[in-house]
Chains A and B, each alone.
Chain A
């Protein structure tokens, strides 16, 4: 079963526009929600992460919005640039005597930003 559901599967945005990717989770024990960015031919790399004690986290043009009651979180990319074109994965993990490395990933979103 897919514990983290991500949408849309693909997204096309014009340069300067806002890209929004959404994720929903089922496991209420999840308490760490990172986003990973993957360029073609490369492994994913951590972009930004949030914990449920805050509703929003912003790093430059990238913002995570978190809604604990709805069990949803989203990534917003402001002023999207062609260099942002990549695959984005949301993920989640829970504690339990271990670290946050054992992640459950969403299905991924292929973002294309047109010049």
Chain B
């Protein structure tokens, strides 16, 4: 069965950095696009970033562009999110989500359990 397991969430000071990981199993990771979606405490879902199956195309939400970098290692079946210059408003549960398509954005058929990032001094 499909499994997505995020890790790397932590408490970090404003201006700090963090790298999240998402270990995938149960499907051919290299043939699907992947996303990061976040949810601030008590609030709704916000899309963060997308990466094409082969890593050749990446898209970011305006709120994180220039600060976050999405990447993937298809040999390790792992998705990453490098987060720099973190702000208080980045505090959220971060979910990795699998797209049903390889190269375009469609919809998310599987989600991980999430990892909490708290930005606070």
A, B bound: no
